[in-house]
């Protein structure tokens, strides 16, 4: 694992600890109730989260016609899977998908702040919001990808997509090789939020 990713994972853990401490303090002072926190957590566990994105990607892998519709009209294709319940609100509107393919790798960033398709990727990791990541993702995407463990050869074109309030991008990663024996549900279990951001590849687990 790269030094950059190790560093950002440490900062993310520290940030999560601070959030938990602040949450406990707010509950103790009566500013918010534990039921409010539980409601938010339940939303991201059952309605909006990376499990939605994994279903979308897996369907695109097994159904080329669906994949074509997803790339042509992302919101309409997502609605086909009855995921619309988690797609409302500002973070779920105006989503667009791009697909990795031989010779093309896509990377998602947000140069201005941290716009992110929460309904299909869950909450954004800390490093996604970091100004260093946002700036370097534009200037030197190949170097950033390499540090995340995704070396991209010179023959592969790297496309960087800048999410905003108008468009929230996500990646349909390439289907892993030798996965023909897996069904759609098993394929969905392989998909990670990182792969849908373009900072990770998907491989079959070692047997």
Supply the residues annotated as catalytic.
110, 113-115
Query: 2 labelled as ligand-binding?
Result: no
Query: 114 labelled as ligand-binding?
Result: yes
Residues in Cβ contact with 85 at an 8 Å cutoff, skipping those fewer than 6 apart: 47
Nearest to 118 by CA among 140, 94, 139: 94
Query: 113 labelled as ligand-binding?
Result: yes
Nearest to 148 by CA among 133, 130, 126: 133
Nearest to 172 by CA among 190, 189, 195: 195
- Answer whether 147's CB lies under 8 Å from 92's CB: no
What would the two tokens of residue 183 be? 């069904």
- Answer whether 11's CB lies under 8 Å from 126's CB: yes
Q: Which helix (H) or strand (E) holds 42?
A: helix 34-46
Query: 179 labelled as ligand-binding?
Result: no
- Answer whether 7's CB lies under 8 Å from 14's CB: no
Number of neighbouring beta carbons within 10 Å of residue 52: 24
Q: Binding site, residues?
A: 110, 113-115
Q: Binding site for Fe(3+), residues?
A: 110, 113-115
């Amino acid at each position: 694992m790269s030094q950059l990713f190790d560093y950002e994972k440490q900062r993310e853990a520290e940030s999560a600890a601070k959030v938990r401490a602040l949450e406990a303090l707010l509950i103790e002072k009566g500013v918010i109730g534990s039921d409010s926190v539980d409601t938010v957590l339940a939303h991201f566990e059952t309605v909006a989260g990376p499990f939605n994105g994994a279903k979308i990607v897996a369907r695109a892998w097994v159904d080329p016609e669906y994949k074509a519709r997803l790339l042509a009209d992302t919101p309409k294709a997502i609605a086909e899977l009855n995921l619309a319940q988690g797609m409302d609100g500002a973070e779920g509107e105006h989503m667009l998908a791009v697909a990795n393919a031989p010779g093309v790798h896509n990377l998602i960033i947000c140069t201005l702040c941290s716009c992110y398709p929460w309904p299909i990727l869950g909450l954004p990791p800390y490093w996604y919001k970091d100004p260093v990541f946002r700036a370097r993702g534009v200037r030197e995407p190949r170097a950033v990808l390499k540090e995340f463990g995704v070396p991209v050869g010179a023959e592969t074109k790297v496309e960087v997509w800048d999410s905003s309030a108008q468009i929230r991008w996500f990646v349909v990663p390439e289907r892993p090789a030798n996965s023909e024996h897996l069904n759609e549900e098993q394929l969905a279990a392989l998909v990670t939020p990182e792969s849908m951001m373009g900072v990770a590849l998907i491989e079959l687990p070692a047997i």
